[in-house]
Amino acid sequence: MAITIYDVARDANVSMATVSRVVNGNQNVKPSTRRKVLESIERLGYRPNAVARGLASKKTTTVGVIVPDISTSFYGELSRGIADIATMYEYNIILSNSDERSERELELLVDHLGKQVDGIIFMSDSVSEEVREEMSRAPVPIVLAGTIDTEEQFATVNIDYEQAAYESVVKLIENGHKEIVFITGPLSRDINRVHKKAGYERALKEADITIREEFMIEMEDTYDAAYESWEKIQQLTVQPTAFFAVNSTLAVGVLNGVRDAGHSVPDDYEIICYEHSNLTRIVRPQLTAAVVPLYDIGAVAMRLLTKLMNEEEVEEKQIQLPFHFAERDSLS
């Protein structure tokens, strides 16, 4: 049978309340008594019941984490950062996939709240109105990681995606390019439309370069879609000389399309992208990229959540982490 707090109290000849104080780290216990209780715990092999402790403290030391797709490198690396900090602060994680569907996000939010989690980390390309309303009613803190909150209602951890896009395109312009194609995933996603597209357009406007609608090529976020887009690009009336891709998967798809057509990168075309995975270093030529600190975004989001859950003072709830460029071979 499982050893209970009653067994420990009887073995140590103390009250169950004293054992509870020792287990929960309460300092209001004499050192000699604490030592005696800990010896009994070790000898009997007692393991505190986390559920019972949660009921007593009204905390479950559990955090819900909702991701669109854990199999992608973007959310996998973010989740690693979350998990490491959660372990450091002794929180357990319930990780759920939303499959990039807002209705599933809503279901998971309700499910996690029903499990009495102490807080939630939410990741998505966009926050739907239904999800926003549910999060607004949540009785626990919520942090958005790698996710844009256009209304700045919730705590968030990101980089300045627009500025990173702007600086990426500026690099191409400084290399003499005027015909630059914007390779993007669905523009229904805030991060693509409101930030990355805006950075692309700002760079062109400042350089007095015509913004061509046909140069904004929207597709699903898959390698195959990007590879096949090369056929569409070849049909353009005005031919581009450079590409800015919103992530490494799309960049590699375009790169391989270009090379399989017999062209050279960077001699014939130059490519720059956001770096979300090791793909940028695996391919040849290696891709110059704006590096998103995915692990750090996850880690900082979890640390921010611990502060909110413990009602600690938080000076800034909209946190922007720095990004940098990895200069590689897809630019001359």
Tens digits of residue pLDDT in 217-253: 999 989 999 999 998 999 999 999 999 999 999 999 9
Sorted by sequence, the CB contacts under 8 Å of residue 133 that are 6+ apart come out as none
**Strand-strand pairing, 142-145 and 155-158:** parallel
| CA 58, chain centre distance (Å) | 28
Q: What is the largest CA-CA distance in the chain?
A: 88
pTM listed for this prediction: 0.79
**pLDDT for 4:** 79
Residue 189 CB: number of other CB atoms within 10 A?
Answer: 19
* Cβ proximity of 291 and 275 under 8 Å: yes
C-alpha to C-alpha distances, 146 to 33, 149, 161, 269, nearest whole angstrom: 47, 10, 10, 30
**pLDDT for 55:** 47
Mean pLDDT in the chain?
89
C-alpha to C-alpha distances, 128 to 18, 56, 147, 262, 317, nearest whole angstrom: 49, 36, 12, 43, 20
The secondary structure of residue 135, as a DSSP letter, is H
**pLDDT for 206:** 96
**pLDDT for 9:** 87
**pLDDT for 53:** 53
Q: Which residues of the chain are modeled with pLDDT < 70?
A: 1-2, 48-58
Sorted by sequence, the CB contacts under 8 Å of residue 247 that are 6+ apart come out as 74, 185, 221, 273, 274, 276
181-220 tens-digit pLDDT: 999 998 888 888 889 999 999 999 999 999 999 999 999 9
Burial of 220 (0-12, 13-18, 19+ CB in 10 A): exposed
